Amino acid sequence: MSKKIHVSTTVNGESVEFLCEARQSLLEVLRENLSLTGAKEGCNNGNCGACTVMLNGVPVNSCIVLAVEVEGAAIETVEGLACHGHLHPIQKCFLEGAALQCGVCTPGFLVTAKALLDKNPNPSEHDIRFNLANNLCRCTGYDKIVKAVQAAAAELQTR
């Protein structure tokens, strides 16, 4: 039963194939098989959001997705946000606005925020807070995170 299954998928725009056990989570495969350690394991049961990645364009908790489920899917991780060495405006605004401290929650926030702005370029403060409900931060008080998302939205609008 612990035989390995072959999975073909796309990660950050590149075709990727891997072998995994059916019981391995997408998070584990990203971190252990593909060495993409940007997504973090905070709670391992879908509550803290540190493992958030985009699956076919929407954010999900990769710790409660089986890796075998992503056959044929497109995955984006925090490592794919920056483009040719240029930070995505969300990353820049998090950095400049001190919206991160210990930083373990940050990749999850960045991916969730990007998903929000992709869908809703001009979110209200309520929209931002509502959409970040799955991402827990123990350090920042969220205030600067919300402001960073607002700043990124403004910057993206002027492009």
Partner 1 sequence: MKAFDYAAPTSVADALKLMEPPHTAALSGGTDLINRMKDYVSSPERVVYLKDIDALESIESSSKGVSIGAGATLAALLEHGEIKKTYPSLWKAAYEVATPQIRNMATVGGNLLQRPRCWYYRAGNGLLALKDGKSLVREGDNRFHAIFMTDGDALFVNPSSLAVPLIALGAKATILGPKGERTVPVAELYRVPKGSQERELTVQHGEILTKVVVPATHAKNASYEARHKQAHDWPLALASVALEMDGQKVGSARVVLGAVAPVPLRSEAAEKAIEGKALNHESATAAGDAAVKDAKPLSMNAYKVQLTKVAVKRALLAAVGDRYWEEG
Partner 2 sequence: MAAWPKEPRLIGTKVPRLDGLAKASGKAKYPSDVRPEGTLFGVVLYSPHANATVKSIDTAAAEKMPGVKGIVVIAGQGKKLRFQGDDIAIVAAETEEQARDAVRAIKVDYEVLPHCVTESQSMDEKAPQVFDGGNVRKARAIVKGKPEEALEKADVVVEGTYSLPVITHVCLEPHGLTAQAEGSSKITAWASTQAVTVVAGELAGSFNISPADVTVLTEVMGGGFGSKFGADIWGRTAAELSKKCGGRPVKVFLDRAQEHLAAGNRPSATGHVKLGASKDGKLVAMIAETYGTGGVRGGSNFPLPYVYDLKNSSRAHAEVSVNAGGARAMRAPGHPQGCAIMEAALDDLAAKLGMDPVEIRVKNLAEVDNVRGGRQGETINRTPMYEAQLKLGAELIGWRDKYKPRGENGKGVVKRGLGVALHQWGGGGAADKQVSCTINPDGSVEIKSATQDIGTGARTILAMITAEVLGLKPTDIKSNIGNSTFPPGQSSGGSTTTPSMSPPCLAAATQARAAFFNKIAPALSTDAETLSLKDGQVWVNGEPTMSWKDACRKLGMASISETGKFADGLSSVGVGGCQFAEVEVDTETGVVRVKKIVAIQDSGLIIDKLTWESQVYGGVIGGLNYGLFEERVMDPTTGVMLNPDMELYKLAGASDIPEIIVRAYETEEMKNRGVIGVGEPPTIATAAAIANAVANAIGVRVPDWPMSPRNVLNALASKEGKA
| Binding positions for partner 2, rule: CB under 8 A | 2, 21, 23-24, 28, 31-32, 35-45, 47-48, 50, 77-79, 81-82, 87, 91-92, 94-96, 98, 100-107, 110, 126, 128-130, 132-146
Query: What's the CA gap between 66 and 17, in Å, rounded?
Result: 15
Which of 30, 93, 99, 115 touches partner 1 (CB under 8 A)? 115
Least CB distance from residue 55 to partner 1, whole Å? 8
Least CB distance from residue 36 to partner 2, whole Å? 8
Given the complex with partner 1, which of 30 and 55 has the nearer CB atom?
Answer: 55
Query: Which of 48, 54, 64, 68 has its CA nearest to residue 139?
Result: 48
Query: Which of 17, 38, 39, 151 has its CA nearest to residue 93?
Result: 151
Structural contact between residues 27 and 62, judged by C-beta atoms closer than 8 angstroms: yes
